Structure 1
Amino acid sequence: MSTPLLDVTDLRVAFTGRGFRPKAVEVLHGVSLSIGEGETLGIVGESGSGKTTIGRAVLGLVKPSGGRIRFQGADITHASPRDRRTLSKSIQVVFQDPYTSLNPSLTIGDTLSEPLVVQGATAGDARARVQMLLDQVGLPRDAGERLPREFSGGQRQRVAIARALAPKPKLIVCDEPVSALDLSTQARVMDLFIDIQRQTGVAYLFVSHDLAVVRHISHRVSVVYKGDIVETGPADLVTSTPEHPYTQRLLLAAPIADPVEQEKRRAERHRLAELHREQNVQAGVA
């Protein structure tokens, strides 16, 4: 078997609480996952499940308390700031909020060219690369001369995607990149992610709370519940016929147009939640 692009083994992350003599609270309890080149792994779970912490650990934004993270076979678990700057050429991120992830005082062209120039590109090469990126994400040719406030939410997220693509990364961590958008814009941006992956072969670690979103974009899905991965498998199977009660509840939580069927799904979700609680009590889980 070929070496995975990203290989996370027994990842643990703990945060220190507040107050007098605060204790460390572990939020990830030994998470393992892998992503191949050109693959999308969807990470799904409710708020507070730990899914975003996985992506932040890969990016070096939180410090693991245990386990190991390998990228292209190299251990990056405790990479130095200098090594992280080098890694940023290969690992990029698209954040959730397109309104706060862009500098409002910089033109789109400056936003996209700045990291290229820092990495050694000439001004001319950076301008050419920026124009290619704008074309790639479907923005008008004059977008580089405009400020972020002149764009819609969907267009700003396209700028954020272009910024992530600028250094030609191998992996992009996508942290709820469509949750702040309306449904029609979500669909267009997700299709853009898919098209870019086909063109460039980039891999995605795609974090979302929405099973429908990860079903649309992912090859495989891992479900996170209270800091543990409870189910992993092909996206079509995990998001249509899940085995774990928690994943089943996530599926039933998705709204549908039929109010009678929606009421049935709500009742079944409550039944599964109660069953899951009873199983935890029997197993001695707090």
Structure 2
Amino acid sequence: MNATPLIELDDVRVAFTGGGLRRTKTEVLHGVSLDIRPGETHGLVGESGSGKTTIGRAILGLVPLESGSIRFRGERIDGLRGTRRRALATQVQVVFQDPYTSLNPSLTIGDTLAEPLRAQGMGLADARRRIRELLDAVALPSGAADRLPREFSGGQRQRVAIARALAIRPALIVCDEAVSALDLTTQRTVLELLLSIQKETGVSYLFISHDLSVVRHMSHRVSVIYRGDIVESGDAAVVTSAPSHPYSRKLLLSAPVVDPAAQAERRRQFESEFAGARR
């Protein structure tokens, strides 16, 4: 795998301004640094409110930075606007959490997939050919192009969302809790699809999740975020099985396992390890 980063976040700080008369500002990212390499899945794991989605939104240009920088292929991209931001969108795409709201219900699947292709000036014949390729890539029949989102299950809709993200052959896809709304069987199918696509195309993923087991399955490297700080980063196998930071260990020990005896032992370890921290 190429060790030269595709995207780099350096000391990124993001703050949100609250409502009311005082308009107080609250910092939600406290100097976050991480990088994603070509062809790599970098997992980002943390509990709700930890700041992991904000990192994805910062990469996508949806939230401004207080300070720090984001570079894509060596070029600084934070603060890009207009034509330059739209050009970057061809290289950085997103798959959102909810497959039921991320697709326009009034557009057929074919029209949904055609939108980014037409925006790039692709002709009708080429667009139709690309749509067939995309549907095949996500294991949906070609006839799906003529149907509306409401005719599909959640897992199938998420496949359409993945196809849309792939349409213009991006280098990076931000997967923001991309399987958390799906049942376990469908999750497994979608995850294997993402891995297969990565193997075939070399696309990179920032894989954002609260589920340590899913992150372990998907990622080459993992960063753990806690209250706006990256507290641990490293090889996925190490971070998800023998973490060094107390919060990372908390995530590991609180993750469910199938064996009741192992779950009970894990709960005992969790309570023992963190009893002192509560006092």
**Gap runs ≥5 in structure 2:** none
Say whether the 8 Å CA contact 1:45–1:51 is kept in structure 2.
yes
CA distance in 2, matches of 1:257, 1:170: 37
The aligned residue for residue 184 of structure 2 is 183
CA distance in 1, matches of 2:251, 2:82: 38
Secondary structure of the corresponding residue to residue 49 of structure 1: coil
- Alignment of 1:42 onto 2:38: no
User: Which residue identity does 2:110 align to in structure 1?
Assistant: G
Q: CA deviation at 1:277?
A: 5.1
The aligned residue for residue 71 of structure 2 is 70
Q: CA deviation at 1:276?
A: 4.2
User: Which residue identity does 2:185 align to in structure 1?
Assistant: S
The aligned residue for residue 144 of structure 1 is 145
Q: CA deviation at 1:118?
A: 1.4
Secondary structure of the corresponding residue to residue 184 of structure 1: helix
The aligned residue for residue 231 of structure 1 is 232
- Alignment of 1:88 onto 2:89: yes
CA distance in 1, matches of 2:27, 2:274: 24
Q: CA deviation at 1:2?
A: 5.8
User: Which residue identity does 2:5 align to in structure 1?
Assistant: P
CA distance in 1, matches of 2:275, 2:12: 29
Q: CA RMSD in A?
A: 1.3
CA distance in 2, matches of 1:277, 1:126: 58
Q: Number of residue pairs matched?
A: 278
Q: What is the CA deviation profile of residues 142-185 of structure 1, one whole-angstrom value per residue up to 9, with x for unaligned ones? A: 11011111111111000000000001000000000000011111
Residues 60-209 of structure 1 mapped to structure 2, 5 A cutoff? 60-209=61-210
Give the TM-score, by structure 2 length: 0.96
CA distance in 2, matches of 1:2, 1:246: 28
The aligned residue for residue 7 of structure 2 is 6
CA distance in 1, matches of 2:208, 2:277: 24
**Gap runs ≥5 in structure 1:** 279-286
The aligned residue for residue 19 of structure 1 is 20
CA distance in 2, matches of 1:16, 1:277: 31
CA distance in 1, matches of 2:260, 2:97: 31
CA distance in 2, matches of 1:6, 1:140: 34
The aligned residue for residue 250 of structure 1 is 251
Q: What is the CA deviation profile of residues 61-100 of structure 1, one whole-angstrom value per residue up to 9, with x for unaligned ones? A: 1111110000011000111132111111000000000000
User: Which residue identity does 2:272 align to in structure 1?
Assistant: R
CA distance in 1, matches of 2:66, 2:229: 15
* Aligned residues with identical type, % of pairs: 63
User: Which residue identity does 2:62 align to in structure 1?
Assistant: L
Give the TM-score, by structure 1 length: 0.94
